[in-house]
Amino acid sequence: MTIKYPNNQYDWEISNKSELINVLESYKAKCINIYGTNAKSKIKSWFTYEVHLNIGPKNHIGLPGLVAKVKHLGRVTYLKSIDLRQKVNITLPEKGEKTTLKEYNNRLVEFMSYEVKTI
């Protein structure tokens, strides 16, 4: 299944604070992640303008460059290494069902709400 994520699922606040992450000058951004009805969490990310890809780990997207580091829910995920000399072609899957993130989440909630009865 291919899930289409919204391009701007987070309302990022970008600062001028920067740090070097694996040779990439990375800038700090933060937002509040709201999920469910009352749940909120803070996300801090560092992204670089040097790599013009709107991607990051764990679907942290919506920033104007590659996400090199994320702090969320007490965990840190970071870019371990990158080789900017290598050319990579990325192709999207052609087969399979396509769905939006909202549709996927609705299906997941429906699936998780099934009651399992033991005999």
> Which H/E stretch holds residue 13?
strand 13-21
Contact present, 31 and 12 (Cβ < 8 Å): yes
Distance (Å, whole) CA 59 – CA 104: 14
Q: What is the pLDDT of residue 37?
A: 67
pTM for this one? 0.65
Who contacts 20 (Cβ-Cβ below 8 Å, separation ≥6)?
26
- Per residue of the chain (119 residues), give pLDDT as tens: 455 555 556 788 899 999 999 889 999 999 887 776 677 889 899 999 998 888 888 777 788 899 999 998 889 998 888 877 777 777 777 888 888 877 877 777 777 776 655 55
